[in-house]
Amino acid sequence: MSLSAGSEFPKGVKFAYVPFQEEQQGVLACGIPIPYDTDKKFAGKKVVIVAVPGAFTPTCTANHIPPFISKLAEFKAKGVDQVIVLSANDPFVQSAWGKALGVKNNDIIFASDGNAAFSKSIGQTLDLTDKGLGIRTSRYAIIVDDGKVVYNEQEPGADVSVSGADAVLAKL
């Protein structure tokens, strides 16, 4: 299935994440993963999903995700309720990565697309098997407004352009 502007976000999609908790803000603190049910969480909300090949990787950590964090107020001003940073990494790694990047709230969720299942279903994966990393989420961004896809773009190469914070802000 391909997602395009105007289409409904698929039903039944669930990610896993560890909600931020003040008492567990250390990178080594392990919370309990819970499901993020998009059917429930997206209702009446504007959500940005930004997907990356891997937590703690150079481009994702240095260039791709920090602008989403530093420009959160701009996203909020444009009506975004939540930003989801999505990767095929497990929810524990995603949680630690969010903490390492200084996220201290649940306005930005670092969620796991286990086995890249969702990304596979929409045809947006990256095969890094030759590097020993398996199938990963590709680098893409999706804007969902009350269950409808407003924007969905996958990076054509290794650079951050169509899935970067500025590109997404321009589409809100």
Catalytic residue among 3, 55, 60, 80: 60
Measure the CA–CA gap between 96 and 103, rounded to whole angstroms. Answer: 10
Please confirm, yes or no, whether 60 is among the known catalytic residues.
yes
Beta-carbon contacts of residue 65 (< 8 Å; ≥ 6 apart) = 50, 52, 85, 101
Closest by Cα among 163, 85, 157, 87 to 118:
87
Classify residue 9 by its DSSP letter: P
- Tell me the catalytic residues: 60
